[in-house]
Amino acid sequence: MKYTKYNYKRRKNNAVFKFLSSLLVGIVAAGMIGLGVGLLIWKVLPLNDSAQVGTEITDGTQGVAEESGQEQQGGTPVSEGEQTSEYYFLQCGYFSKKDNAEQTYAKISSNGRTFISEEAEKFRVLTGIYTSENVDSVIQDLGAKGVESVKITFTLNENDPVEAQVSAICDGYLKILTTTFDDGVDHVNTSEFKEWMNTLDDISSGENIEILQNFKTYIKELPEELTKEKVSSEMDYLYDVLSSFK
């Protein structure tokens, strides 16, 4: 009887080779799967966009604005070379709880320009309106009180008839509100301002015409006299007007 001779050594080498090949293929396949899953997660999960308005701030004794350290822009976009007017508010906190907003408000409310704006069940602590000449110094003053702030800039296009009138009325009304803080001033009469507004051109159409018309109606219905105690609520109103041009 003949016996077939088997090369056991060669078979052992073949087994090792097959094992290593399988292991290598498995590693490569696992890597490919891991890469695919990683790309899928990267595409599906939302990015943390620091420039997106609406990022919630954790509630503490001091709330920081959504765009920490960054300036927020509002108003209608304008082309290069167009004449514009800029108005600045400072956001000093953005809170989910009103109690925490009121803590920050209490630190700076003595300036008479501070108010709390409620938006989508969140509370912004704002102060304004400021100009390019004084806004940076106000930021420094707030910082000295331990209050961080971020500029909110509203830009109106003076080449647009509607926005030009809104800007002119804002300027005039801001002068009245600012005058109430002058030494020796008990109140400011609004009659002359209302008469001036009546001399403006009658605009009946255009983008945002309804905002302008409502603004004019509001000014016409102002009380005859304004005191510094009314400034905070009036700044709140002007903020709403300018926010309409975002």
Ordered DSSP codes for 43-82: HHSPP--TTSTTPPPPPSSSPPPSSTT--EEEE----TT-
Q: Does residue 55 surpass a pLDDT of 50?
A: no
pTM, full prediction? 0.69
Per-residue model confidence (pLDDT) at position 72: 58
**pLDDT bucket at 24, cuts 50 / 70 / 90:** low
**pLDDT bucket at 61, cuts 50 / 70 / 90:** very low
Per-residue model confidence (pLDDT) at position 27: 58
User: What's the rounded Cα separation, in Å, for the pair 227 and 235?
Assistant: 13
Fold of 72-243: Alpha-Beta Plaits (3.30.70)
Do residues 193 and 238 make contact, with C-beta atoms less than 8 angstroms apart? no
Q: Which of 39-48, 69-78, 103-112, 137-146 has the lowest mean pLDDT?
A: 39-48
User: pLDDT digit string (tens) for 126-176?
Assistant: 999 999 999 999 999 999 999 999 999 999 999 999 999 999 999 999 999
Cis peptide preceding 129, ω within 30 of 0: yes
- Residue 202: burial class (beta carbons within 10 Å; 0-12, 13-18, 19+): exposed
Per-residue model confidence (pLDDT) at position 29: 55
Do residues 85 and 155 make contact, with C-beta atoms less than 8 angstroms apart? yes
Residues 6+ apart with CB under 8 A from 167: 85, 156, 158
Per-residue model confidence (pLDDT) at position 40: 42
User: pLDDT digit string (tens) for 67-100?
Assistant: 434 455 555 555 566 799 999 999 999 999 999 9
Averaged pLDDT for residues 193-208: 95
Per-residue model confidence (pLDDT) at position 73: 56
The mean of the pLDDT values for the chain is 78
Q: Minimal CA–CA distance to 169: which of 149, 145, 194?
A: 194
| 187's tokens | 């109140």
Q: Does residue 119 surpass a pLDDT of 50?
A: yes
Q: Tell me how far the alpha carbon of residue 21 is from its chain's centroid.
A: 58
